[in-house]
Amino acid sequence: MAFRTSALMLPHQVGSGVNWRGQALKLSSKATWAVRSSSSCPSGTVTVGYAQAQERPSSVIRKIREDLENRERSAVNVMEDYLVRLRDREPQVQSFLHISEKALEEAKLLDEKIAQKATIGPLAGVPIAVKDNLCTKDMPSTGGSKILEGYRPPYDATAVRKLREGGAIIVGKTNMDEFGMGSTTEGSAYKVTANPWDVSRVPGGSSGGSAAAVAARQCAGALGSDTGGSIRQPASFCGVVGLKPTYGRVSRSGLMAYASSLDVVGCFGSSVEDVAILLQSIAGHDNSDSTSSTKDVPSFVETLKPVQNFSSKPLAGVKFGLIKETLEDGVDSSVVFAIRSAAQHLESLGAEVIEVELPKFSLGLPAYYVLAASEASSNLSRYDGARYGNRADAQELIPMYGNSRAQGLGAEVKRRILMGTYALSAGYYDAFYKRAQQVRRIIQTDLEVVLSKVDVLLSPVAPTVAYKIGEKTDDPLSMYAGDLMTVNVNLAGLPALVLPCGLAEGGPCGLPVGLQMVGKSFDEGELLRLGHIFEQTAPHWCQNVPPLVQ
């Protein structure tokens, strides 16, 4: 039995499959499984069937650690592997704005330390890419904007510093929509990043460079930032694991602010375990960010058991809520299908999945755009050409400001600054900013209430899979609409994990669909635990290796 993964794969199609232990699995009459026939796709179409069991996603970070400890590979070996792949794939993917010249050198130093039997950090030798809106003192940090072309910060962002303290080696800075404003990475002032699953498509955004770099295995993991979905949507589009932590879990210090009350630093990996290791490293209170939480950081990695230790119903007792409003009209049926399939898989693992209604869910999007634009209009005021970054020539102060910003900032950024300035203006504040704050509270309360009834919420990340480069550049509203499923999570400050849950038709080998799991505040541990179980038991078609890598 074989059929194409597409909108045609409807729940009434009945089939049977294998469960995560390779045992025959009887499917309910409600759904079927879409399974890719093999890891290659010679025909260019996606086929499904019962392929041989593939290797489960496993932690590349742990592997690096083990190899270094066992002296199977040196840090230089590891780094060379990655750098070769990075350079090899970069012409097609264009994930990076800057590639570190020191990565190999740092790996050498690490090898010396290892040779001297010095203690090494948990991330020793792990090649990490960093979104370009996170400050790095040894590399330019532009935030994807011309106005900061060549700007070199005098300090590392806290998340970057913590990674380095853990031994990680920063391989470069990844492309992004200018200052995080966009959903495709086409908003970068420098280059357009391609989706490794189909280089004619966008990787999503704004952390598209980080997601694409991880998907293309140009690095072992990456940092991103998420204001309205900027980690989760590219993770979904690129078929990688992405985590948006609870607001305050990770310090924002050194993150170029877009919308301060919504921005979070998070991470990408090719497995849940990698993401857990990265979060472990960057989480925690930071004296230089007053909005960072003083809550204890639990051990995220400890709860991730190896698959062979799972019980037969590892999710027994866990209650998931599928957000009804995210599976309605306007959402691609292939996306809906993948999510429903994932839900069924969770049920097969012993979990209870119910549908939950959030009638005010759609109010979040306009509220988000008012708030984010308002804060952005303020946060971006500092880019005035007076102290750093590009300054336009002018005889007078006001034209200097005007020209520097006119020339230095891109269209989308200007659009949002204008919207935000308008929303905060005298006479409009109550109608826009204040009202949006009220909506934000409603959304927060609604999500809080529903999360008191279920452990984790499930939804797609975006209504579609990755679309073509250029497809939506002239239609900002339709691009904004794509954020519908992610922005509420930011408005409520909740943590959310995105992991690949299937492929839809499109591209040479199908296009990934991501499953969004939204957890309770500061409950990343539970999200990672559940995500790990899902990932390690998921049917093959959830595997996340793009054609570019195969």
Partner 1 sequence: MASARLVRATMVALPSAVCVYRCSSGSNSASALRPAFHRRFVAVSACASAEGSSPAGGFTNNSPQPVSSVRISRKQQRAQSARVVSQQSSTRVTEENAGGSEYEAVIGIETHVQLATATKAFCSCPSQYGSEPNANVCPICMGLPGCLPVLNEKCVEFGVRLGLALHSDIALKSKFDRKQYFYPDLPKGYQISQFDIPIASNGFLEVDLPVECGGGHKRFGITRVHMEEDAGKLIHAGADQLSGSTHSQVDLNRAGVPLLEIVSEPDMRTGLEAAEYAAELQRTVRYLGVGNGNMQEGSMRCDVNISVRPKGRAQFGTKVEIKNMNSFSAMQRAIEYEFERQVQLIDEGEGDKIVQETRLWEEAAQRTTTMRKKEGLADYRYFPEPDLPEVILNEEYIESVRATLPELPNEKRRRYETLGLSMQDILVLTNDIDVAAYFDAVLEKGGDVKMAANWIMGDITAYLKNEKQSITELKLTPPTLAELIGLIKDGTISGKIAKEILPELLESGASAKSIVEKKGLLQISDVATIEKMIDEVLEKNSSQLEAYRGGKTKLQGFFVGQVMKASGGKVNPALMNKLLIEKLNG
Residue 426 binds partner 1 (CB under 8 A): yes
Comparing CB distances to partner 1, the nearer of 55 and 396 is 396
Q: How many C-beta neighbours within 10 Å does residue 309 have?
A: 7
For residue 251, indicate whether it is catalytic.
no
Contact 535, 542 (CB under 8 A): yes
CB 153, min distance to partner 1, A: 6
CB 444, min distance to partner 1, A: 15
Q: Which of 8, 316, 386, 406 binds partner 1 (CB under 8 A)?
A: 386
From residue 159 to residue 198, what is the string marking binding to partner 1 with x (rule CB under 8 A)? Answer: ----------------------------------------
Annotated catalytic residue, options 145, 206, 236, 270: 206
Which stretch of DSSP H or E encloses residue 265? strand 264-269
- Rounded Cα distance between 390 and 410, Å, is 13
Residue 514: Cβ-neighbour burial (10 angstroms; 0-12, 13-18, 19+)? buried
Q: Which amino acid is at 454?
A: V
- Give the β-pairing of 221-226 and 127-131: parallel
Q: Which of 128, 135, 376, 542 binds partner 1 (CB under 8 A)?
A: 135
Annotated catalytic residue, options 230, 251, 293, 404: 230
Residue 354 binds partner 1 (CB under 8 A): no
DSSP state of 195: B
Q: Which of 16, 40, 288, 407 binds partner 1 (CB under 8 A)?
A: 288
Please name the residues in contact with 60: beta carbons below 8 A apart, sequence gap of 6 or more.
220, 221, 269, 270, 271, 274
CB 432, min distance to partner 1, A: 11
Dmax (CA) for the chain in angstroms is 77
Q: Which of 37, 38, 260, 303 binds partner 1 (CB under 8 A)?
A: 260
Residue 201 binds partner 1 (CB under 8 A): no
For residue 230, indicate whether it is catalytic.
yes
CB 401, min distance to partner 1, A: 6
> Which residue from 538, 429, 527, 419 is spatially nearest to 477, judged by alpha carbons?
419
Residue 153 binds partner 1 (CB under 8 A): yes
**Is the N-terminal amide bond of 206 cis, ω within 30° of 0?**
yes
Contact 205, 234 (CB under 8 A): yes
> Which stretch, 305-313, 334-342, 421-429, 452-460, contacts partner 1 (CB under 8 A)?
421-429
CA 485, distance to chain mean position in Å, is 14
Q: Which of 3, 50, 310, 388 binds partner 1 (CB under 8 A)?
A: 388
Annotated catalytic residue, options 6, 59, 100, 131: 131
DSSP state of 283: B
CB 466, min distance to partner 1, A: 29
Q: Which of 111, 325, 332, 375 binds partner 1 (CB under 8 A)?
A: 375
- Rounded Cα distance between 135 and 471, Å, is 31
Contact 149, 142 (CB under 8 A): yes
CB 154, min distance to partner 1, A: 6
What count of Cα atoms within 13 Å lies in the side-chain half-sphere of residue 546?
32
CB 262, min distance to partner 1, A: 8
- Rounded Cα distance between 280 and 298, Å, is 8
- Token pair of 548 as six digits: 């570019």
Residue 377: Cβ-neighbour burial (10 angstroms; 0-12, 13-18, 19+)? buried
Q: Which of 68, 83, 123, 257 binds partner 1 (CB under 8 A)?
A: 257
> Which stretch, 12-20, 420-428, 486-494, 536-544, contacts partner 1 (CB under 8 A)?
420-428
Comparing CB distances to partner 1, the nearer of 17 and 224 is 224
Comparing CB distances to partner 1, the nearer of 59 and 136 is 136
Letter string b/e over residues 272-297, b meaning 16 or more CB atoms within 10 A of that residue's CB: bbbbbbbbbbbbbebeebeebbeeeb
Helix (H, G, I), strand (E, B) or coil at 25: strand
Residue 245 binds partner 1 (CB under 8 A): no
CB 287, min distance to partner 1, A: 7
Residue 311 binds partner 1 (CB under 8 A): no
Residues 35-94 that bind partner 1 (CB under 8 A): none
Contact 343, 30 (CB under 8 A): no
What count of Cα atoms within 13 Å lies in the side-chain half-sphere of residue 406?
9
Residues 395-414 that bind partner 1 (CB under 8 A): 397, 401
Residue 429 binds partner 1 (CB under 8 A): yes
Please name the residues in contact with 234: beta carbons below 8 A apart, sequence gap of 6 or more.
185, 203, 204, 205, 206, 207, 208, 210, 211, 212, 224, 242
Which stretch of DSSP H or E encloses residue 165? helix 158-165
> Which stretch, 128-136, 297-305, 306-314, 324-332, contacts partner 1 (CB under 8 A)?
128-136
CB 382, min distance to partner 1, A: 5
Q: Which of 154, 317, 330, 359 binds partner 1 (CB under 8 A)?
A: 154
- Could you list the active site residues? 131, 206, 230
| List of residues contacting partner 1 (CB under 8 A) | 133-135, 141, 143, 148, 151, 153-155, 157, 252-257, 259-261, 287-291, 374-375, 377-378, 380-384, 386-388, 397, 401, 421, 424-426, 429, 433
